[in-house]
């Protein structure tokens, strides 16, 4: 199993969530986060001083999926979240050592 973590623009929250549900993703965790990268933010003035605001709002999706679904879902995320502009986000894929469903103590794929 793998964890797919996608950091995307806030306006892509609903389109990506809908696309993942249509792709039969059984569960996901979504968080509002702030981050910076090549987009670099913007400048504002506060009490006459220039302030660089480089922490931009983003949305983080976290999915735990079977290995055979990773490529298909990464492509779906990229296709849905892309605007072609700097700041579209990133997708990270990492291995999962173990999953345990707390209620039933099921493990592995059964717990997802």
**What does each of the 112 residues of the chain score in pLDDT, given as a tens digit?**
999 999 999 999 999 999 999 999 989 999 999 887 776 666 777 788 877 677 788 999 999 999 999 999 999 999 999 999 988 999 999 999 999 999 999 998 888 8
Give the count of domains, the chain: 1
Task: Give the per-residue pLDDT at 5.
Answer: 98
Look up the CATH number of the domain holding residue 52.
Answer: 3.30.70.120
Domain that holds residue 81: 2-111
Can you give the pTM of this predicted structure?
Answer: 0.84
Per DSSP, the chain holds a count of helices (H) and strands (E) of 2, 6
Based on the number of CB atoms within 10 Å of its own CB, is 62 exposed (0-12), middle (13-18) or buried (19 or more)? middle
């Amino acid at each position: 199993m793998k964890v797919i973590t996608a950091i995307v623009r806030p306006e892509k929250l609903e389109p990506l969530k809908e696309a993942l549900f249509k792709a039969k993703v059984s569960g996901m965790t979504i968080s509002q986060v702030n981050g910076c990268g090549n987009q670099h933010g913007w400048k504002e003035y506060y009490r006459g001083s220039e302030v660089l605001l480089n922490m931009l709002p983003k949305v983080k999706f976290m999915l735990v999926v079977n290995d055979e679904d990773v490529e298909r879902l990464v492509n779906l995320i990229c296709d849905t979240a892309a605007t072609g502009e700097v700041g579209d986000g990133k997708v990270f894929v990492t291995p999962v050592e173990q999953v345990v469903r707390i209620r039933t103590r099921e493990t592995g794929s059964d717990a997802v």
